[in-house]
Amino acid sequence: MKSILVLFILLVFISIFSLSLGQYHLEISQIFDFFLYKVGLKEIDNFQLLQNIIMEIRFPRIVASILIGASLAISGVAFQSMFKNPLVSPGILGVLSGAAFGAALGMIFFKKFLLIQVSSFVFGVLAVFIALFISMFNRQNQLILLILGGVVSSAFFSSMLSITKYMADPYNELPAIVYWLMGSLALIDKQTIYIISIPILLGIFLMILLSKYLNILSLGDEEAKSLGVNVKLIRFVIILIATFISALTVVLAGMIGWVGLVIPHIARLLFGSNNIIIVPISALLGGIYLLIIDNLSRTLFSVEIPIGILTSLIGIPFFAYALKNVKKGWG
């Protein structure tokens, strides 16, 4: 609990610092003055300017960074524990490929951002249901077939995405699709994040409640059944929740890789293998990590770097180091 509290306080401090970053630099004192004004404890002259910068632009983006990082990290923990495989990531069942195809399809046929987001979510969920359907072909080897079904589903939607890019207008639609696939928080708006934050937070909360079952599932199906756990039901519920929140991350910011693969390893190396602790810690670490990466993406250069590029560049060496110590973390 102490570690969780420390990480939460660190997340709050980084969030406040992030509010000061941008082309229009703000002092930390200005941010505190703004919030004091909001609760009626102080008078300031430039309230409307600060309102636009802080509440309309930066705060929704910070919230999105935290939620996306937490969702991907917590999904990574769930899948790695369920499949007892440290190389598993949230995209194993095809959700990211399906969501990316849905977004690309929406950019060609629907144009409106809301419909693009809906299309992304629908196809992300559909991709996972295809993997689940394939896993039902053989009840005895269902877990193996589930992974293979995810490979098939991911390959199928990746191929469909390639066809969609080939069909896209090379001057207008294709650049938008490519930019989306690189991942970016530049299009985050207050209304979208406030709506989507509710189901994401619910999914994270449910995953924390189910974390004890991840410990049991990691023992193997036979051991879990002997402890009175309905393995198929629990696994289906966890997959459903992880799929749900992973698809919503693509809806918000496109494809952001490596977070769900790297953060669970770091959490285990630092705090052990008990999922009751690792799940909430991974959520906090994921939020902190992606918030820092997003700060870098919008401040390193005069133009914003797609966040998916930075998560890959930074995640690869982290993951290489984690692999050296993988036995320690999976004790």
What's residue 325's pLDDT?
63
* Tens of pLDDT, residues 249-261: 998 998 898 999 9
* Phi-psi map region of 111: left, alpha, beta (phi>0 left; psi -120 to 50 alpha): left
Least confident of 86-90, 159-163, 264-268, 300-304: 86-90
Higher pLDDT, 136 or 104: 104
Cβ within 8 Å of residue 20, ≥6 positions away:
26, 27, 28, 30, 31
Q: In the predicted model, is pLDDT for residue 239 greater than 70?
A: yes
Comparing C-alpha atoms, which of 61, 78, 11 is closest to residue 261? Answer: 78
What's residue 327's pLDDT?
53
What's residue 198's pLDDT?
94
* Tens of pLDDT, residues 28-39: 999 999 999 988
């696939």: which residue's tokens?
Answer: 181
What HEC string does 87-122 produce? CCCHHHHCHHHHHHHHHHHHHHHCCCHHHHHHHHHH
What's residue 146's pLDDT?
87
Higher pLDDT, 93 or 325: 93
What's residue 189's pLDDT?
84
Q: d(Cα 222, Cα 206) in Å, to the nearest integer?
A: 24
Q: In the predicted model, is pLDDT for residue 331 greater than 70?
A: no
The full length of the chain comes to 331
Confidence class for position 303, pLDDT limits 50, 70, 90 = confident
Confidence class for position 329, pLDDT limits 50, 70, 90 = very low
What's residue 67's pLDDT?
97
Helix/strand number for the chain, H first, E second: 16, 0
CA 63 distance to own-chain centroid: 12
What's residue 23's pLDDT?
85
Stretch 136-162: mean pLDDT, rounded?
87
What's residue 292's pLDDT?
96
- Residue ranges of domains in the chain: 2-330
Comparing C-alpha atoms, which of 264, 262, 260, 230 is closest to residue 245? Answer: 260
* Tens of pLDDT, residues 133-146: 988 887 667 778 88
Q: In the predicted model, is pLDDT for residue 18 greater than 70?
A: yes
Q: d(Cα 34, Cα 238) in Å, to the nearest integer?
A: 41
Q: How far lies 23's CA from each of 53, 62, 215, 298, in Å?
A: 10, 16, 46, 9
Stretch 270-276: mean pLDDT, rounded?
90
CA 238 distance to own-chain centroid: 15
What's residue 171's pLDDT?
86
In the chain, the largest separation of any two C-alpha atoms, in whole Å, equals: 69
* Tens of pLDDT, residues 38-80: 888 888 888 899 999 999 999 999 999 999 999 999 999 999 9
Q: In the predicted model, is pLDDT for residue 320 greater than 80?
A: no
Distance from first CA to last CA of the chain, Å, rounded?
21
What's residue 282's pLDDT?
96
Quote the CATH superfamily of domain 2-330: ABC transporter involved in vitamin B12 uptake, BtuC (1.10.3470.10)
Confidence class for position 326, pLDDT limits 50, 70, 90 = low
